[in-house]
Amino acid sequence: MAKGLGPVNVWQEDMSRPPEPAPGCETCAALAAQRAEARARFDASAQTDANVLMRQHQRSEHA
Ligand SMILES: [Zn+2]
């Protein structure tokens, strides 16, 4: 009896790989700009915030 490997819905947040802004999306562009600005001032927590917001936005808008 073969063991079926069904779709495994493990919610995997890959924190090591920041989300990429979707081309042509204003919200993504704004968050990317926010992240770049945070990076420029070495603000790691603001960068994380921008990444979290971008993920949430992409999950609801670009799913
Ligand atoms: Zn977007």
**Ligand 1 ion: Cβ-proximal residues, 5 Å cutoff:** 22, 25, 27-28
Helix H, strand E, coil C: the string for the chain is CCCCCCCCCCCCCCCCCCCCCCCCCHHHHHHHHHHHHHHHCCCHHHHHHHHHHHHHHHHHHCC
Whether residue 47 is contained in a domain is answered as yes
Whether residue 50 is contained in a domain is answered as yes
By residue range, what is the domain housing residue 56?
Answer: 26-61
**32 CA to middle of ligand 1, Å?**
10
pTM as predicted: 0.73
pLDDT in tens, 14-44: 556 789 999 999 999 999 999 999 999 999 9
Domains held by the chain: number? 1
Q: Within a 13 Å sphere around the CA of 31, how many CA atoms are in the beta-carbon half? A: 22
Cα 63 to Cα 3, 31, 54, distances in angstroms: 29, 17, 12
